[in-house]
Amino acid sequence: MKFKVPRGTQDILPSETWKWQQVEKIIDELCDLYRYKEIRTPIFEQTELFQRLVGDTTDVVQKEMYTFTDKGDRSLTLRPEGTAPVVRSFVENKMFGYPDQPVKLYYTGPMFRYERQQAGRYRQFVQFGAEAIGSADPAIDAEVIALALDVYKRAGLKHLKLVLNSLGDTECRTAHRKALVAHFGPHIGEFCADCQSRLEKNPLRILDCKVDHGHPLIASAPSLADYLNEESARYFEDVKSYLDNLGIEYEVDANLVRGLDYYNHTAFEIMSTSDGFGAITTLCGGGRYNGLAEEIGGPSAPGIGFAMSIERLLLAMEAEGKTFQEEPALDVYIVTLGEQARQPGFKLLGELRAAGIRSEMDYMDRKMKAQMKSADRLQARMVVLLGEDEVAEGVVQLKNMANGEQVKVPVAELIEKMKETLLG
Ligand code: ATP
Ligand code: MG
């Protein structure tokens, strides 16, 4: 029997993991810079959490969740996104009582959605997300957007576009919703089955439909922008001026609605405008979710956040021809010659590692020449040559692989000498 990775998932091999580690380093450093603290929540949650918070009418909840019943007859779901778990934890752990508000959190970890596999779309993918909960200050909207953009900038990306919209508050949404029902209602028979059920439950979703996106009634649908009340319009203006203040460019798109139900006011996406990037251009999505904490029994705690997948970030880097600087694999390779040199060589290996020098030796019983080849292949910066004569004399031959220089060094002085070479 042969086994393969499940459809929509991938093994990330050592030839790739180092890039992931570089991205994660950028994320950790930037979040520290912006004072966001890491939170780690479980991989699965009660199914109802996502049904309530992400929304019953969304594709994510209706079609994409990995839901199962455990042996205790509980319905659990592999998390399809990170905001609902973070807000659950915020409420459960009474973070609204922390003296420092807003509470600024971030996470990096796998998410699961039953989707059709294509480039940039997986069933298990890794999202980095950040959430600022507890403040309704438009400045924090701009901060969160700036953080997301900074990740891409540090990864070297240049071809980026920030798209922005306001979804307004409950009052605007209710008025707009009425207008949508009146607009689509008489013609709903021309739309897909999903849209027909969306009409009553959540007509805004029709604008986001992947099946009917070409229907002329979608282009002519009443725009949310015309239904923003004074307060929402002012909030949107404030967010934009904070972005202007940071020198961040954006485009306003009145049709940007986002795929999850919980958003209000600010909604945004960051796209790649690079030629090589293929059909899916969205790198990051986010928005404001005032009322989400209340929805699960918490106090009022307005929040804003975003999520991006590492997979799409790496694809965008590839499309723009950006790579990370690869670190030399190894400081020192110890080449031993003859049985007598083996134990002293192994002892030296231990001492080098204890001194923080990245070292390796042969475990395949290779001849000296093949050991030298290994050292080359592993890009060792130095080679220590140890034969029976050297052992007897208490010295080693130290070869600098960059210039081929070879010197005899007493074992007692070796580590000192190596540190010099590594630093120089
Ligand atoms: P899309 O329209 O591409 O399906 P979405 O609206 O479902 O995206 P969100 O739920 O907002 O996406 O997730 C935020 C980000 O997570 C996306 O912008 C994308 O970078 C990433 N993402 C979402 N789904 C996947 C997936 N199946 N595989 C890889 N990355 C994903
Ligand atoms: Mg999706």
Say which CATH number the domain at 388 has: 3.40.50.800
Cα dihedral 357/361/363/368 (nearest 10) = 180
Supply the pLDDT for residue 69. Answer: 98
The amino acid at 156: G
Nearest CA to ligand 1 atom 26: 121
How many CA atoms are closer than 13 Å to the CA of 51, on its beta-carbon side? 8
Ligand 1 site-directed mutation target among 309, 314, 315, 317, most atoms within 8 Å of CB: 309
Ligand 1 site-directed mutation target among 81, 83, 118, 125, most atoms within 8 Å of CB: 125
Dihedrals φ, ψ of 162, to 5°?
-100, 125
Which residues, other chains included, contact 363 with Cβ-Cβ below 8 Å and sequence gap of 6+?
A: none
Name the closest ligand to CA 213.
1
Ligand 1, residue 269: give the atom nearest the CA.
18
Co-location of 162 and 305 in the same domain: yes
pLDDT, tens digit only, all 424 positions of the chain: 899 999 999 999 999 999 999 999 999 999 999 999 999 999 999 999 999 999 888 889 989 999 999 999 999 999 999 999 999 999 999 999 999 999 999 999 999 999 998 889 999 999 999 999 999 999 999 999 999 999 999 999 999 999 999 999 989 988 998 999 999 999 999 999 989 988 988 888 888 788 888 899 998 999 888 999 999 999 999 999 999 999 999 999 988 877 667 789 999 999 999 987 877 789 999 999 999 999 999 999 999 999 999 999 999 999 999 999 887 679 999 999 999 999 999 999 999 999 999 999 999 999 999 999 999 999 999 999 999 999 999 999 999 999 999 999 999 999 999 988 888 7
Closest CA to 143 of 38, 256, 30: 30
Task: Tell me what percent of the chain is helix, strand and coil, each rounded to the nearest 5.
Answer: 45, 20, 35
Measured CA to CA, the distance from residue 192 to residue 419 in angstroms comes to: 69
Average pLDDT, the chain: 94
Co-location of 70 and 118 in the same domain: yes
Could you tell me if residue 202 is inside a domain?
no
414 CA distance to ligand 2 middle (Å): 57
SS3 360: strand
Closest CA to 283 of 274, 296, 292: 274
Last residue of a domain, one of 319, 343, 364: 319
Could you tell me if residue 176 is inside a domain?
no
How many CA atoms are closer than 13 Å to the CA of 380, on its beta-carbon side? 26
Let me know: does 124 contact 284? Beta carbons within 8 Å: no
Could you tell me if residue 300 is inside a domain?
yes
CB neighbourhood size of 171 (10 A): 13
Q: What is the CA radius of gyration of the chain?
A: 28
Could you tell me if residue 194 is inside a domain?
no
Residues with CB under 6 A from ligand 1: 81, 113, 115, 120-122, 125, 127, 259-260, 280, 282-285, 307-309, 311-312
Nearest CA to ligand 1 atom 12: 285
Parallel, antiparallel or unpaired: strands 124-133 and 103-112:
antiparallel
Co-location of 299 and 256 in the same domain: yes
CB neighbourhood size of 234 (10 A): 12
Co-location of 350 and 315 in the same domain: no
pTM score of the predicted model? 0.92
Residue bearing tokens 């030629």: 275
Co-location of 241 and 165 in the same domain: yes
290 CA distance to ligand 2 middle (Å): 22
Let me know: does 180 contact 204? Beta carbons within 8 Å: yes
If you ran DSSP here, which 8-state letter would residue 121 be given?
A: B
Ligand 1 site-directed mutation target among 108, 123, 282, 288, most atoms within 8 Å of CB: 282
Residue ranges making up the domain that contains 102: 14-169+229-319
